[in-house]
Amino acid sequence: MASSIRPSLSSFRFAGGIANSRFGASISTIRLPPLSRLSSSSKLLKTAGTRVPPVGNAVQASTAAAQKTALEWVKKDKRRMLHVVYRVGDLDRTVKFYTECLGMKLLRKRDIPEERYTNAFLGYGPEDSHFVIELTYNYGVDKYDIGAAFGHFGIAVEDVAKTVELIKAKGGKVTREPGPVKVGSTVIAFVEDPDGYKLELIERWPTPEPLCQVMLRVGDLDRSINFYEKAFGMELLRTQDSPEYKYTIAIMGYGPEDKNAVLELTYNYGVTEYEKGNGYAQIAIGTDDVYKTAEGVKLFGGKITREPGPLPGINTKITACLDSDCWKTVFVDNIDFLKELECESPSVKPVVPAPSGSTKLEIGSPIIVVEAPKVIKTAASVPCLRANSGLVKPGDVGRIVSRKPKDVWAVRLAIGTYLLDGKYFKALEFDETEE
């Protein structure tokens, strides 16, 4: 089945021409005589008895060389699906549904009041090793159009029937009762979250990645498989054609389906375009180099919607692109992503014990909560922290004590009084004379 739906390289369509590639030679590096000279003198077309190839052949050779180099790099790149982003109308309501009905944990939350939105990250394990959900709430917007192009999210559970019972007890909507799939024996069910996003519950346990699937509909499956294999470096794990139901699926990912989150691309016979709505946003994928990634996406027909580079404020390097069906993907620098997680890890709950005169920073050091400024200046080795960055919470004030962010993030409020991040804490002596 797989071989019947995968086009050859010669049938692949390119968009946007050839960019100055970091992977290999581009058109600009080939020196050719003017066309007038090529046509007026046959001597210019021969060198030691060898005919110079036509311009079109040179372009094709350059393209093929750049693509080959890009493919080699993509295979070595450490890529992983990081999170899926979509918009919801009531953040607290949705967080409650995912935590109480599906057993997810609220991993972190950040509010950006000047841009009028809030994010909540939920999942079944730490973001540095698990695929998670990023919910976005835009101030004042309580409803979105999900559209017909988005399919569903897949969640592996130990017992589908019990999970469905719990969802019903919590007032959730079940759209397909538990039972085997149409083609196979795996037990599944379909439910909807409070905003109407469909969730497929899959009876598969134990599993290291419960949030296991994102299904999107595409208009040309051959084209999509080719693009995700070459531009994204995904592996075609399996295909399944169901002529009686008039659809074909392709499972794409960065590792075995039972251990990693995957992308399920669905082609419905004869349907080439879908309405996307404005609810679903994108998938984020980690990469070792956003600049090389962007060049590779261009070479294989993708459209770059955000040129690679650091985001303002947090300096995380990203690039964003669209595939041929206009599904958006954001690639995030792997190292920058880990740094961002360190900075936005949840802070300890505040307590207000009596101040101490000790200058030794240790677990249990007293902390105090006061009104926060917009920006807190830090040690010279790290940038200033915005109050809404996730590290400095509203109500915190002071300055960073540590010079090594991986040792400890801490805000000094007074002599012997600190706000500590317990996740990365290590004992630290502080010089009171340093201001």
Q: Which of the residues are catalytic?
A: 200
Residue whose token pair is 């890009």: 70
Strand order in the sheet with 198-203: 173-180, 187-192, 198-203, 150-157, 211-217, 262-268, 247-253, 235-242
| Separation of CA 110 from chain center | 17
Helix or strand run (H / E) with residue 39: helix 35-40
Q: Evaluate the CA torsion angle 197, 198, 201, 202 in order and state its sign.
A: negative
| Separation of CA 331 from chain center | 6
Residues 312, 112 contacting (CB under 8 angstroms): no
* Cα-based distances in Å from 209 to 154, 262, 335: 11, 10, 22
Residues 316 and 313: their CA atoms lie apart, in Å, by 9
Residues 136, 86 contacting (CB under 8 angstroms): yes
The amino acid that residue 11 corresponds to is S
CA torsion 394-396-400-405 (nearest 10°) is -50
Residues 379, 428 contacting (CB under 8 angstroms): no
Helix or strand run (H / E) with residue 197: none
Helix orientation angle between 160-169 and 91-102, rounded to the nearest 10 degrees: 140
Q: Is 130 one of the annotated binding-site residues?
A: no
Binding residues: 134, 152, 200
Q: Name the binding residues for Zn(2+).
A: 134, 152, 200
